[in-house]
Structure 1
Amino acid sequence: STELLAASTEQLREIRETGQAVLTMAERINEVASQSQESATVARQSLQAASTGLRAVEDAIGGMNAIRDQIQDTAKRLKRLGESSQEIGEITELISDITEQTNVLALNAAIQAASAGEAGRGFSVVAEEVQRLAERSADATRQIAALVRAIQTDTQDAVGAMERSTQGVVEGARLSDHAGTALSEIDRVSRRLAELIEQITRSASHEAASANVVAANIQHIFAVTEQTGDGTRTTAKQVRELSHMAEELRLSVARFKIA
């Protein structure tokens, strides 16, 4: 009975230690499942942020490309304006040449009219008027030429600025393309990471559920083992009592034989 009680006590101790280890494991698994769920939430947030950033970069690239196209179109228009200004300048030079020739002819006509005396007076008046018109045309032509040169200078400056802006936009678009590529890779990795974490979360939740079932069974085993231990102790006590009674009976029988 003593050996039975000792074996039962040792078995109860081992079951308790094993059960406690299982309960601790169940707690750890539940913690892992909870942390996995939190990680899954963070992964989904990261994925959403990456997707939002990717869309923003794509929009920025689209906007830069549109700006680049507009700048290039404006630069082309300015170049055509410069070419038109050049043509106007050439026409102005031609008008200036004609004006100078007209002025010379008017001067010669006035000299010839003066040589003709009274008969050339009327022609002299016309020649003087033509000369005044030629001078006025020359003044206007010089003003137009000055304006054309100013327009050409401003146009060239504007075209240069447009070209520099275009280069800046192109460089910005290139950098945005690189950023978009990087964000695309981040988006891909985030999606894969989210999928893996979801799988881990599902597995951890499943393991947690199984561990909780095992823990419940262990609790039941605890209760049964306690009952068994109580029964074993009771049995051991009864065995000791029976042994004592048997010993008393043996002694009584021995005395009876002696008598």
Structure 2
Amino acid sequence: MQLAQVSMEQSTAATGRVVDAVQSSSDTIADLDQAIAKIGGITQVIQEIADQTNLLALNAAIEAARAGEMGRGFAVVADEVRKLAERTTTSTTDITATVAEIRKVTDATVISMNHAVTEVEQGIGMVRASMAGLDRITSTSAEVTGMARHIADAANEQTAAAELVASNMEQIATLIDDNLAAVQGAKQAADTLKETAHELRRVVGQFKVIG
């Protein structure tokens, strides 16, 4: 029973370390989630800048068209700026989608880890309850052992007392036998004395003077 208790204590300690590790991982994922949220914010800013750049490029192209031949070079630059803004928009859209997917995975991971921690903590609670039950059983067993020892001691004392009573009874029986023998001897002596008295009376009667 003591070995089982030690094993449970070791299992509880190991499980506690697992809980700590899972909790640490959960905290790390939470930090990662915050970092991803910041990336999402930065991406949003980049998207807004790209939209504004695209709008400016469009306005520049319109103005270049109005300027005719003199604005042709500027129109080429405005078109390149617009293409860059479009590529930036596409990239930020991809980044936003990737960030959303990562957040989805991390959220699911955090939920799963929290469930695991809850189940492990419940398991630890059950193990601790079992350990408490073993402690009660051990305590009860010790009490029963103590009671058994008291009963054994009492039985030994009763046996000794019974032996003493038996010895005293034997002595009493011996005394009774001795007294009975003495009484019988006294009775025989009395009978003999009685016969002697009768004989003496008879002899005395023979010497009686006739007047």
Q: Output the TM-score relative to the length of structure 1.
A: 0.55
- Over 4 Å off, 4+ runs: 191-205
Whether 2:135 is the aligned partner of 1:145: answer: no
* Structure number with higher relative contact order (C-alpha < 8 Å, ≥ 6 residues apart): 1
Matched residue, 1:128:
79
Alignment coverage as a number of residue pairs: 161
Q: Quick one: distance in 1 between partners of 2:97 and 2:123?
A: 39
Deviations 1:37-66 (A, max 9, x none): xxxxxxxxxxxxx10110111111111211
Quote how far apart the aligned CAs of 1:140 are. Answer: 0.4
Q: Quick one: distance in 2 between partners of 1:201 and 1:122?
A: 116
Q: Quick one: distance in 2 between partners of 1:56 and 1:190?
A: 20
Percent identity over paired residues = 34
Quote how far apart the aligned CAs of 1:85 are. Answer: 1.4
Residue type at the aligned position of 2:87: R
Whether 2:47 is the aligned partner of 1:96: answer: yes
Say which of 46, 57, 60 aligns to 1:109.
60
Deviations 1:124-155 (A, max 9, x none): 11111111111111000000000011111111
Residue type at the aligned position of 2:62: I
Q: Quick one: distance in 2 between partners of 1:165 and 1:77?
A: 16
- Greater C-alpha radius of gyration: 2
Matched residue, 1:170:
121
Quote how far apart the aligned CAs of 1:186 are. Answer: 2.3
Q: Quick one: distance in 1 between partners of 2:93 and 2:149?
A: 81
Q: Quick one: distance in 2 between partners of 1:56 and 1:204?
A: 39
Q: Quick one: distance in 2 between partners of 1:91 and 1:104?
A: 20
CA RMSD of aligned residues (A): 2.7
Structure 2 residue runs without a partner (length 5+): 164-211
Say which of 73, 81, 96 aligns to 2:24.
73
Say which of 178, 187, 201 aligns to 2:138.
187
Say which of 82, 89, 92 aligns to 2:33.
82
Correspondences of 1:47-66 after superposition (within 5 Å): 50-66=1-17
Q: Output the TM-score relative to the length of structure 2.
A: 0.67
Matched residue, 2:70:
119
Q: Quick one: distance in 1 between partners of 2:155 and 2:3?
A: 30
Residue type at the aligned position of 1:71: V
